[in-house]
Structure 1
Amino acid sequence: MAEGDGRAALLAEIEAFYAGFGQAESLTAAFRDAALLVPVSDDRRILLSRYGGVAWVYGFTSEAEYARYIAARRAQPDASEDPPYRFHTLFGRRLVDWFAAHGDEPTGIVVNIAGAQPMAFPPDLSESSRPMAGAPVVGPPARG
């Protein structure tokens, strides 16, 4: 991890959450300020997974965390193709802001999904579209 990429602060906030001492506002701020590795397709589009009617973007705090995800995907019996190995490094705030403005469906973000302490930031699914306490809002796109 490079100094100033925000990953260490995010990992510390996630660890505090798992220890029972986390604060939603601090976790969200650390997420927004962290540079995450985000898997992309061959044509450089962010890859989405769908679960429970929601699209999810995976972000990783290191190449080792990304490799753990790839190994877990390969171990699944229904894995029809190799997962992607390409990634872009994007700040959490860029992911949230982009999907809020351009996403076609509610989209959440999961950090280190195959790691020891995964952390999900679900989309806001309420009709009022007000931010959920402790989670970045990645909701339906604004229509113009």
Structure 2
Amino acid sequence: MLAVFRSSAVLVPQTADGLVWSGDGGGIRWIYAFSSEPELAAFLTARAEGPGEVRYLTVFGARLLDVAVPAAGVPCGVALDVAGAQPMLFPPVVGIVPDAAAVDADHGRTSVVGGGGVV
């Protein structure tokens, strides 16, 4: 599923000031992305925004994971089709996002064993 998402164009709604729509949950910021206009419309309806005019970007999933997620500056992942029948989350972990943006990456920490502990 990850490979398909990375190579697919998805719709990312924008706020009036040009930022991408996102939501925070579980200590993670989730960028909202949609596989189609009907999926985006379902999300708008679920949010009581109703179908209307919403500006959106069309980007490849890889660009979201490799560029937008690290640029967020906080732990960030992508939530695909969150109001749909088959929602999918791409969390900020190694193998999905760049290691520098992954919450489970080592980030250059070193462990030294000795003296009765691990540092």
TM over 0.5: yes
TM-score, normalised to structure 1, is: 0.62
Runs of at least 4 residues off by over 4 Å: none
Match of 1:23 in 2: none
Identity of aligned residues (%): 38
TM-score, normalised to structure 2, is: 0.74
Say whether the 8 Å CA contact 2:70–2:76 is kept in structure 1.
no
Counterpart Cα distance in 2 of 1:84 and 1:104: 29
Number of equivalenced pairs: 100
Aligned pair 1:68/2:42, yes or no? yes
Q: Secondary structure at the match of 1:74?
A: coil
- Give the Å deviation of 1:100: 4.4
Whichever structure has more strand as a proportion of its residues is 2
List gaps (5 residues or longer) in structure 1: 1-26, 76-82, 125-130
Match of 2:11 in 1: 37
Match of 2:72 in 1: 103
Counterpart Cα distance in 2 of 1:84 and 1:52: 30
Matches of residues 1-144 of structure 1 in structure 2 within 5 Å?
A: 27-74=1-48, 85-124=54-93, 131-132=94-95, 136-137=96-97, 139=101
Cα RMSD for the two superposed structures: 2.4
List gaps (5 residues or longer) in structure 2: 108-119
Say whether the 8 Å CA contact 1:41–1:84 is kept in structure 2.
no
Name the larger-Rg structure: 2
Say whether the 8 Å CA contact 1:61–1:112 is kept in structure 2.
yes
Q: Secondary structure at the match of 1:56?
A: strand
Whichever structure has more helix as a proportion of its residues is 1
